[in-house]
Amino acid sequence: MAAVCQVTGAVPGFGHNISNSHRRTKRRFDPNVQKKKYYVPSLKRTISLTLSAKGIKVIDARGIEAVVQDLLKRGEKF
């Protein structure tokens, strides 16, 4: 599963692990991505979304209908 949120567009960030001796090695900061299912009354079906924790909060605040309309405008698949 790709670590990309369908609502917020959050993608992994990159940086370094720094040891005690200050050696740097590459690392990846993944967003907290989870699969969630929502029932959308306008579509009369359940959709499955890949969401970050912030994306879930956006849906709670704006509502699933408004978020789905934005996703459809962008041409997002679900």
* The model's pTM: 0.84
- Asked if 54 and 69 count as a contact pair (C-beta separation under 8 A), the reply is no
pLDDT band per the 50, 70, 90 thresholds, residue 77? confident
- pLDDT tens-place string over residues 26-43: 999 999 999 999 999 999
At residue 55, φ and ψ (nearest 5 deg) are -60, -35
User: What pLDDT band is residue 1 in, cutting at 50, 70 and 90?
Assistant: low
**Residue 64: is its pLDDT beyond 80?**
yes
Which of 40, 74, 67, 39 has the alpha carbon at shortest distance from 52? 67
Q: What are phi and psi of 35, to 5 degrees?
A: -90, 130
